[in-house]
Structure 1
């Protein structure tokens, strides 16, 4: 159930085809081989921290492998697009990549995938190879598009911030010029002072127009207070509080998952997702919380059964003051899911979403285990 979104499909799952199981069994060595080649061939990746380089690739790999199980649901294809978009978005926020680097690393992924499968004796039929190639091509397009969109959003935020900050020195210069004009007895000085006032007023008007023309989020950056904590303990705490209102199943191993995160912000994000699952999910089905880990990253999944979120709403639900149109929500503004994304991104992570009638709805918060090097990362949400 949505295990592909966390990169945790099982190589012994009987519901998966033999070729999917064989691919999943090679997940770790294949991803390691990919990371090594990316570091060697993509200059911007050479010094990337491991959890940032790894990104959402485990989830992407598992979702790609699931395509080779006959009868897979349309959800898996949708998932692939969502993971590809998050990959490109995280590259825009967390690296010095350009679009060419995003494309190059996914081309390397394709080469490594087919090479390693052949090296380990995993034989692909021509149709299976064609399926993987076609979806990797689609991934390259979607990742590059997401990279460009997020990069443009970050540029808008930067320009808007600069325009806002410019207004203070402009105002100071204008007041000083007005004072000179009022106090000077020299006609020439007064004339130049009037020119300065007129120019600063014009510049102030231009910055106001720029600010009005940019859709700039006024909520400001997410402020994080990072401390060492146990994600398992936090998820259990949230689950216990939610059980008062709705049945909750917790799928967590006995071991703690220690890391550096902002406890208050992460708790609020998980609570937001759980509250949404209670509000919009099926009343007769338990909510499921799952904690898992990949290399230097942790995933927290919140899953519920119920009416699915339409594919066309998969992005708008994360936008400030917008809600999905098929959930029976009516008019209103929503800030919960945008906050979830902002918190994940500010930790250097991502949020993945998958929804279908047969498999329900799952949100996955995917964060670096140690968010300290990435705290305060730019957020496009």
Structure 2
């Protein structure tokens, strides 16, 4: 069994990448995960007089595998179960090909190991997802309390003052924060709908993307905030959803503010290339590790650095940007390096009217 381990793992990886869409783009270290250790446990359980009943006896290796699938990949529970089933058949086929025969007792041990591994992995998967949702709920509550507190304070002051001008100012402040909360909730609902397989309901209109970027640039200015640079460029007119695209760019700018190097400007660039819009947001600072560059676009997931800092976030900002880009028949990519900085790029057709119903990857 141990001599055939690499052959089994190679066979399994080939089958998983062919059968599971969610596994195709995973790097080898992420895909293989804890399965080598799980395989070794199976070999130990099949060894006479070795004190291990099955591969899951006295170990959490399968639980950790399920937890990592929940935290790092876009797997659902069906994908997790399916990869263990493929693991079972990879073992059987390699053993058959190599002329290795198992006794009835060994077959039962192997079957029990796989079945118990599936149960433990699903348990770890559910526990990790529960923890992610609880963290998300806490972040959501924290972020909503700010504007809600402002609205409450403004309304209390309105009840106490008689100056019409003062009342109008307070009412405008309250309304602005209500709109802010409404935008946050809509972003959440849109992102959840997108990740359930639904298209975003786009309201396409013709406009110059520079108008949106310049408005974001003005609204981003303020004491203590990084400078947002946007050069003097030619008009880029296209058919997009103004509100959705604006929110997506704001999320990228907000992300650059949170994680960019203090004192360094944020750069927005927009270009028209071959009938497409390429819009990028760049910041200097610590790079996003290659193994995290895909997972940050998944629901409720944040980079390792973000999780271990005091920076608040829901883990839906970048997934929302992906939802907007893909619903416009485009894409969102990231380029991140210690010397180049980090650049997020939205790439969509100039005229999205003919593609608004294009399929998206969930």
Q: TM-score, normalised by structure 1?
A: 0.42
Higher RCO (CA 8 Å, separation ≥ 6 residues): 1
| TM superposition score normalised by structure 2 | 0.45
